[in-house]
Amino acid sequence: SCVHPDRPEPLDLHLGMFLPTLLNQATPEQMERFFTPAWNLRIIGTYAQTEMGHGTHLRGLETTATFDPSTQEFVLHSPTISSIKWWPGGLGKTSNHAIVLAQLHTQGRCHGLHAFIVPIRDMDTHVPLPGVVVGDIGPKFGFSEVDNGFLKLEHVRIPLDNMLMKFAKVEPDGTYVKPPSAKLTYGMVFIRSMIVGQSALALAKSCTIAIRYSAVRHQSELRPGEPEPQILNYQTQQHKLFPVLAAAYAFTFVGQYMKDTYRRISGDIHAGDYSQLPELHALSAGLKAFTTWAANAAIEVCRMSCGGHGYSRSSALPDIYVEFTPTCTYEGENTVMMLQTASRYLVKSYRQASVGQRLQGSVSYLSEAAAQRLRPRPVSGGAAPLSTQDLLSLVHLYQRRAASLVELAAKSIQQELQRGRSQEEAWNHSSIDLVRASDAHCHFVVVKLFVDKLEQVDDAAVKAVLSTLALLYALKGLADNSGDFLQAGLLTVPQATRVSARIKELLEELRPDAVALVDAFDLNDRKLNSVLGRYDGNVYEHLYEWARQSPLNATEVHESFHKYLKPLRSRL
């Protein structure tokens, strides 16, 4: 299982991508040659795929690996400024090897992107090897602990056996042997699956800090003449934080599901059964985008709910945000991932269901929706009765919203084609709808998994409070996306009003258990690293102590007085 480090580290890519890529794509001989020294940190590697000119568009990557049969070597080369590898973590100063993704050329033909193990620094002196220009890309928004780097390869030669050949191969005479499936060389599904769990952890940390602080912070007056209340008693504060708390639980369950699904399907793939790879790709891409976008926004809600002290690094919330926010970009930019899920899975499944195919997995509801379309619509045509208490009926509502938005996107493509647009243009002119369809699909999956999880809870009290959280998560999502439900005829305005009223009731119901629910994440003070989120709630004394330790307070009179203020004063 992936133990997520608390803070980004230079070895993250070695552990999180270099080793797993060897595991997934190296031959037994290559495992012997590379995995063992890599496991012992003799070899320290990174995953060098992105270039200055391309990160998303893999087929546009320019680095070349040309096979030279006369020497049994590949020649790795960066032909243009835009082909310089750019961003890989640990590349700048830490790694002595890189898995380089390059366009494979052999016998005069290009066979697309393949993975090559390239030594980049001397194993003893750590000096860059001949033909290797490597360094750090400079300061970033955050991730300052990680030396994200650049790598320019100038006709660097590596042995034939340094191409990862578990799937595709190049024979000594240069003959290319295709992989059993072209999709196997994409990779990245492992980390995308793990990032879903990182979203849950980031939410758990953020709402633990914000809810604990909101229980010890007293401010303003609720009733004249009475003591200042805990800010957690304000309905607006509950409305900010309790949905985040519910999402933290929801994403924890989704993260577990994603990890289990990855393990199950990657086991099938290792056994030669690739049939589930499309579902794994679509699920990991969609849920990675859905959960990181939601968590990214929620961390900021938690920070701002702590007022001024939330902006202090003593709260830990700025660091949590800065370290988490790149998950929306790396490992597959979120919009692109949402489009992948829609275009390569949902619309394809919709079309299969429309011709009567029985679908399996997370899209099986599209078969039900297709069958529904063939049945005569009820005369009323109105929205079904809405229960703000029955979780299963809410799951069904999310399912119908997803089916409706997938159908809307598929029909948009059809309409664009009928207007005479090309396939590519039709898809591009429907991409907003495609992203909405993916978002709705992922939202349905999250709500369904949350409710499914409740069936596994035996303790009645725990089940009751988790059911309240699940209700709040589902109803808040319904309120936030009421336009979708109204547009699909799944909700009426009076029902939307009832949803808002029910949310207020749930906030009140959760208030007594809020602190216990964040304590249940069991995040100790060291892991939280937050003065505001301390388990003992002793915030003010520790905030004062934290400030006193600030480097600026090492001297009573800072040198800037003598260097700048005093001379300035004498010139005035």
Ligand X SMILES: Cc1cc2nc3c(=O)[nH]c(=O)nc-3n(C[C@H](O)[C@H](O)[C@H](O)COP(=O)(O)OP(=O)(O)OC[C@H]3O[C@@H](n4cnc5c(N)ncnc54)[C@H](O)[C@@H]3O)c2cc1C
Contacts to ligand X by CB under 6 A: 13, 47-50, 54-56, 87-89, 143, 148, 326, 329-330, 333, 335-336, 339
Structure tokens at 283: 């699920």
Among 336, 383, 384, 515, binds ligand LB5YH26S (CB under 6 A): 336
Q: Smallest distance from the beta carbon of 62 to ligand X, in angstroms?
A: 13
**DSSP code of residue 163:** B
Among 29, 32, 56, 483, binds ligand LB5YH26S (CB under 6 A): 56
To the question of whether residue 185 is assigned a binding role by annotation, the answer is no
| Contact between residue 477 and residue 456 where contact means Cβ atoms under 8 Å apart | no
Long-range contacts from 379-386, C-beta under 8 angstroms, 24+ separation: 381/489, 382/489, 382/492, 383/489, 383/490, 383/491, 383/492, 383/495, 384/490, 386/491, 386/492, 386/495, 386/498, 386/499
Which of 422, 393, 407, 413 lies closest to 499, judged by CA? 393
| Contact between residue 321 and residue 303 where contact means Cβ atoms under 8 Å apart | yes
Structure tokens at 439: 């978002």
**Marked catalytic residue, from 62, 73, 323, 331:** 331
Enumerate residues 6+ apart whose C-beta is below 8 A from 462: none
Q: Smallest distance from the beta carbon of 335 to ligand X, in angstroms?
A: 4
Among 10, 12, 237, 391, binds ligand LB5YH26S (CB under 6 A): 12
Q: Using CA atoms, how far apart are residues 13 and 513, in angstroms rounded to an integer?
A: 39
Task: Rule CB under 6 A: say whether 15 interacts with ligand LB5YH26S.
Answer: yes
Query: 60 or 489: whose CB is closer to ligand X?
Result: 60
Residue 188 interacts with, from ligand LB5YH26S, ligand X, none (CB under 5-8 Å by kind): ligand LB5YH26S
Residue 143 interacts with, from ligand LB5YH26S, ligand X, none (CB under 5-8 Å by kind): ligand X
Which residue(s) pair with 118 in the sheet?
A: 98
| Contact between residue 295 and residue 328 where contact means Cβ atoms under 8 Å apart | no
Q: Using CA atoms, how far apart are residues 356 and 348, in angstroms rounded to an integer?
A: 13
Torsional sign, CA 116, 120, 125, 126: negative
Interaction with ligand LB5YH26S in 261-280: which residues (CB under 6 A)?
277-278
Residue 12 interacts with, from ligand X, ligand LB5YH26S, none (CB under 5-8 Å by kind): ligand LB5YH26S
331 given a catalytic annotation = yes
Residue 23 interacts with, from ligand X, ligand LB5YH26S, none (CB under 5-8 Å by kind): ligand LB5YH26S
Query: 48 or 210: whose CB is closer to ligand X?
Result: 48
Q: Smallest distance from the beta carbon of 51 to ligand X, in angstroms?
A: 8
Q: How far is CA 475 from CA 172, 248, 255, 394, 463, in A?
A: 61, 15, 21, 8, 18
Task: Could you list the residues known to form a binding site for FAD, using ranges.
Answer: 50, 89
Enumerate binding residues for ligand LB5YH26S (CB under 6 A).
Answer: 2-3, 5, 12, 15-16, 19-20, 23, 47, 49-50, 55-59, 89, 183, 186, 188-189, 191, 277-278, 281, 330-332, 336, 340, 344
Residues with catalytic roles: 331
